[in-house]
Structures are given as structure tokens and as C-alpha cells.
Structure 1
Amino acid sequence: MTYCVYTDKETLDPSPEHILPLSLGGHDDFVIDVDRKFNNDIGSRVDGKLANDFIVLFERDRAGAVGHSKKHPIPTVKNAKLTDGTPVQVKFGKDGLSLFDLRGRKNIERTDSRAHQFQCSNIKIDIDIDLMFVAKVALAAGYYAYGDDFVKNVQTDEFRKIMNFDKQNLPTDSIARVYSRSHEPEEGDDMIHILKMMTEIGSCSSVILAPSSETFGVAVSILGKFLGFISVPCKSSNLVNDRDYKYGHCIYIQNEQVKRFSLDYIRLKLLNQLEQ
């Protein structure tokens, strides 16, 4: 029997779960075991959806972040139109924008006068997927770093409510505090700004685990860009708080390595950077 932090149950069929998917800057050493069936479902419902988010595709293209398929991601609008009504596919690659005539089955040269403008109406961005993913990462990374103490002392069900977010039956009883890349922090809320800078200081994918006196906060970045933050109630006094865990724990996937530091160490690094 293996404990699965996603379902909060033991499973007879565990499988390794990349806490941050490879397609979003993860690493083969940053994994835990979870229930296979749930992992497959949540992987397509959350990880896959975020990895193919139109904005995220630009970061994946820039970083060359590929998943198990090894296919290089390119932001693509499959159904656009030129001003004369010609249906085209538009790709925003690192080498620039390219247009493909879907009717004539050929590339359109940038010198073509028709290529100066196009329109599209089918780009969809799910603003809820950010926090669903952050909640999922919070569960996995919290268990990876703190083990059973995380499950015993953190109100992990609050993360699960967000991870399993059902738009048809919106959870009304969540007491979590949340921010995503699309939300502006409240005026005077300096801690969110600091955590955001901490996630982005390494220009890589990262997870910041930040216990306070009564809460457990998790901030996540993918490919150097802040994605979101969630804080839930916690008995933080029962969590380890020294050495690599002083004030919290930080995990960065940088230069194809999993690097782990105390929150205090990253705080000092950030201060030094800001003073330069």
C-alpha cells in the first residue's frame, strides 16, 4: 500500500508522478508516487491543459521545454483569416511569425501584402487552470519536502478543493487565500511580491514552500514566470524549521538539476540582488 497525497488514500496501484511536468520545466528526480488512475486523469485535465495554454506555449517555445513526446511546442492559431478571407494557420515561433494558407496548402511569404494583418477569434485561455495546477503542485511538493508531517499538520483538503475545482459546483467553503498570474495583489501586500520574486529569481521552474505561524503557503513558477500562490491553515510549529528548512523550503529545477534551499537562504540572496 502506498499513500497518495492527491486522493488522501492508500493505493494498490502507485505510479511515479512528476511534481512539475517535464513540459513545464520539471525533472525526473522531482517525483513522488501517487495513485495511477487519478494521476492519469489529473495529468490530462490539469497538467496537459496548462502546458497547452496559449500564453504558456510562448514560454515553452522560448525555453525549449518538451514533454515525453519530445515535440517542440510552438504557439499556434489553427483557424485565423486574412483580411481577404483566406483561412490560415498562424505560428508564433522563436524565428518569428509564419502563415500557412489552409486552402492553397502553402506558406505565405511575409512580402505578400495579405500577410500584414490577420484576425482570429478562437483563442481560449482558462484563468482557473493556474490555481488548479498550483494546488496540485502544493500537495505533491509539500509531501515531497515534509512527508507525513505535511499531511498531519496542513489542511491539505483546501488544496484538493482547488485542484478538483468543478465549475458546475463551485466550492463555497474554501478558506484558502489565493493569487494567480492574472490577479493583482492587494495594496500593501508585500509578501506576495516577495514570493513572486523568489519564484522567478532562478529563471526556471520552482516551488516555494512558506509556512508562517498559522498558515502554509505555496508559490509556483514555470519556466521562470510566476504562476500562482495558495495559502491554507496549518500547525506550522510541528514542521521542521532549521537548516535547509529555515523559515520554509525552496525547490528550483535549474540547469537540469533539482536544487533545494531554505527560504532564509533565498531571502538573503534576493536581498543581495536587490541591493546591487
Structure 2
Amino acid sequence: MKIQDQDWQYGAVLHQIVMHPVFTTINKITEKAGLYLINEETKLLIKCSGDDGPEWTFSFTPEDVEIATGMNGAVALNCGSQSICLLHPTELAAVLDEKATKSQQVRVRFGNNESMRVTGPLGMLGHTIAHNAFPGELLGRVPPKQEPHAWPELGRLSFYQAPPELVFESSHRLLDLASHLGWSIKGDEPITVYMGVSSISHKWPEWNEERLRKIEGLIKDDFAEDGYKVQVQRHTPAVDPHTKKKNRPCSDEFVWKLTIKE
């Protein structure tokens, strides 16, 4: 297969994702040019500009706008391979007219030692975009103040009616449990959900008592903030029946039984 210009332009963006420590997978999910699925759940639309700078122009069709402002993910604007501007759906909605029937343009501008300024038909975005926002913010990097409340790096949260009946899973480090599970609570009747956690991060080598209590504390705090009561019970046996070892590797899923009520 011949290499096309867009392969080089998309490749510059995808290479930075691949080199990031929390990357796991990239998949092409439709025939839409530049649209990818990162880490099995985050959509990324890549747009490229060959301008020389200090301003780069990107064209958005009505289809682009509908995809970019409505998806769980972000848009990466490749500014002539000099930098990549990461925009989330709410940021795009602030500069693009979602009801427009014709193509619109977004402009990114920056000079030496300057953050990126973004402008569209609705005006200038109210804040600048840091050059180092990509790819960390796309892949789950959280602000230092929120790190104590975040789920493990390179982690996966899985939710079951009863294992192995999977309901949904996520790798979002700031996933709000109450908003995803609390809606199904009706009246005084509690619900039971099984929650599995795993991580391939070097910071989470094994499930010792400290790490188990860390997860249990995050679960209780999450529900308490939204006014729910939760009983947390360990479902996974304390000792691995195969290896006879007590501290399982965190790459193996540890499951808790959650009983949740208002």
C-alpha cells in the first residue's frame, strides 16, 4: 500500500499516543478519515493543517462538528507537525456553530514560547491550550489535586450484575461511580453490583492490604459524596487458589461486592 500525505500527518499524532505510558490500543472504528478509538473507549478525531504558521486553519464539515461535539473523546489538531492542539467537545462547541449547514474553520495560533489560542465562527476560546496537554489529557492524566481521588493508572474498572455478566467497563481515572450506578436505585430497595479493578501500572504491582483499602476508600467516598450508602465486601478470595499466594498481582482483577442504597 502506498503511503499518502495524510498517513504522515495522522502518524505524527498517533506516534505521540503510542509513546505515552498509559497507551494500550488504537483502532479504526469507521471509514471516517482520521477517526480512531483509543484504549477501547475514547474517540479521537484528527484534523491536519499544512500551513506554515504562526496560524493554522482547520476545516470542519457539518459531519465533523456533529461527531466532534457529541462524542466521548476529543479532537487533535496537527499544526503543521509543530504542535498538536487538543480540544474537548465542550471547547469545540464554544467556537463552532453546531447548527451550521456549511463547513466552518477553526484557527489555532501561537508564537515562540506561547500557548495556543483557538478561534472559530463563534469567537475566541476563553482560555489557551497548553502544548503538553496532548496526549496526557486524552489518556487519563489527572491534575495533581485530583490524583488522591483517582482510580489506578493504566487501570480498568469492570462492573457486573454477577461475574462474569459484564454490564460495562471503563478506564476513566475519574469515573464517578454514583452517577453511573446510583440512578438504578429506586426507593428503599438496595442494589447489588460487583466491581472489578485491575492495573498494569508499575505503581500497582500487587494487591496488598494497603492497595485494597485504598480502592475501598475511593468507593465509599465516591458514593458518600452523592448521598448514597454502600457496603463493600471483598468477593475475590484472599489467597489465590492456583498459586496459593496471598498478594495477587494488580494485573489480575480484584472484585468487590457493592450493596448500594439511598
**Is the shorter-chain TM-score for this pair beyond 0.5, marking a shared fold?**
no
TM-score bracket relative to the smaller structure: under 0.3
Which is richer in helix?
1
